[in-house]
Each structure stands twice: as C-alpha cells, then as structure tokens.
C-alpha cells in the first residue's frame, strides 16, 4: 500500500530511521555556526550575526528526544500489545464458548484490529517522515560542510519532529475510535435479522406452526 513516491518499508527501513537520528546528532555536534556569545563590534556590520528563535542546545536536544520518543514509543505500544494479544489467543478461544465472556472476547478481537490498523498507518506515517526528514537533513549538513551558517535549522527541526509526533498520537487515537466503536455490530445484526429471506422463512413457519422462534444472540451476531 506504500506509494512509489515514498521510501520502501522493507528490511532497510529501520536503518533509514536510525540514519535520521545519526544526522540529528551530527548536526548537534557541528552546531549552526552562530556567534551568539561574541562581542558585537560596529565595524563588523550586521552580516556577522543573525537572530535565532531557539538556541542550538535547546532546539536540537528537544528535537532529537521527541523524534526518538515518538518513533520508539509508538512502535513499542503496537508490537507489545500485538504480542500479548496473540499470546492470549488460546485462552480467548476457550472463553468464546461461554456467554459471560463474550464481551471479553469481542474486546480482544477489537484489540487485534487496532494493532493491525495501527501498524499499517504508523508505517505509512514513518515513511512520510523519512521522505521529508532525510533530504532536509542532508541539505543542512551539506551547507554546514561548506562553511555556511544555518540559523533556522534548529527551530525547523524541532517543528518537524513535533509535528510528526502529534500526527502519530492523533492517528492512533483515531484508529482506537474506529476499532472500538459499537455501531457496526448492531447495524450488521439488524440487517441480517431483517433480510427478505429471513422474513419469508418466518412467515412460512408461522403458517405451518403458530410458534415464535427465538434467535440466539450469538447466532445473530455471527
């Protein structure tokens, strides 16, 4: 499902995520070449100094921390939750046979649906982040290697990493609402109960024998 314009999410995708963290660390070590602690002399003119919104240590430090926390945290939640839910599969298969545990079984199934949708959505989101961050960091590091100052890089990097962290949290929250909503099961059961075939069979059964057939809730759900 990944478009051709995004990087491949195969075996080398983890290394590309790691390379972004390495580039952020390299930029942190090199800095932006701003002389913020030097004495300002009038004869040097205004070209030697530039104003900044955030200092290098603050912006670059928070940008790397947010990037690592958003990537590792979101992946860890889905992988650990998926492993635990799959490990409980034999127990949930046994609880499906009892009426009092049907709600627990339904919650387990919805948790698996959330893990599947979240893994797919997060992979696409990380692919977009790699496609945006890799060329940007490459351009900034190339400018620094040529001796040019990059005063706006720390603020832009912090905004970039913070934006994708918010996008990851928002994506997971939306998928939680999709996986744990209750309307779909009620609507599907209502449509099955009111199909023309079921109505015709009920009319025929009333003509043959005037008794009312009670449909079991589990059968209706299936």
Burial class (CB in 10 A: 0-12, 13-18, 19+), 60: buried
Query: Token match 């919650």: residue?
Result: 107
Residue 188's pLDDT is what? Answer: 45
How far apart CA 178 and CA 7 sit, in angstroms, is 27
Residue 31's pLDDT is what? Answer: 81
Residue 170's pLDDT is what? Answer: 93
pLDDT tens, position by position, 39-89: 555 555 444 555 566 777 888 899 999 999 999 999 999 999 999 999 999
How far apart CA 48 and CA 40 sit, in angstroms, is 9
Query: Token match 């199934």: residue?
Result: 109
Q: Give the closest residue to 137 by CA, choosing from 161, 106, 119.
A: 161
Sign of dihedral through CA atoms 125, 123, 84, 162?
Answer: negative
- Percent of the chain past pLDDT 70, that is, above it, reads 69
pLDDT tens, position by position, 162-183: 999 999 999 999 999 888 877 5
- Burial call 104-127: b when 16+ CB within 10 Å, e when fewer: ebbebebbbebbebbbebbbbbbb
Q: Give the closest residue to 32 by CA, choosing from 50, 6, 20.
A: 50
Sign of dihedral through CA atoms 39, 45, 49, 51?
Answer: positive
Band the pLDDT of 189: cuts 50, 70, 90.
very low
Query: Token match 């929250």: residue?
Result: 173
């Amino acid at each position: 499902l990944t478009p051709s314009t995004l990087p491949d999410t195969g075996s080398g995708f983890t290394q590309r995520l790691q390379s972004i963290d390495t580039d952020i660390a390299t930029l942190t070590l090199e800095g932006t070449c701003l002389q913020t602690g030097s004495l300002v002399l009038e004869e040097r003119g205004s070209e030697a100094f530039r104003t900044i919104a955030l200092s290098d240590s603050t912006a670059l430090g928070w940008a790397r921390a947010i990037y690592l926390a958003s990537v590792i945290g979101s992946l860890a939640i889905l992988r650990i939750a998926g492993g635990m839910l799959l490990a409980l599969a034999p127990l949930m298969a046994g609880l499906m046979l009892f009426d009092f545990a049907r709600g627990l079984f339904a919650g387990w199934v919805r948790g698996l649906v959330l893990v599947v949708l979240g893994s797919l959505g997060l992979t696409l989101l990380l692919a977009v982040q790699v496609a945006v961050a890799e060329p940007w960091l490459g351009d900034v590091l190339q400018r620094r290697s040529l001796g040019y100052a990059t005063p706006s890089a720390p603020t832009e990097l912090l905004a970039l990493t913070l934006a994708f962290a918010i996008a990851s949290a928002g994506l997971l929250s939306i998928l939680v609402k999709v996986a744990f909503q209750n309307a779909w099961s009620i609507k599907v059961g209502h449509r099955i109960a009111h199909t023309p075939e079921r109505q015709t069979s009920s009319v025929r059964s009333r003509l043959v024998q005037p008794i009312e057939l009670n449909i079991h809730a589990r059968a209706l759900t299936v």
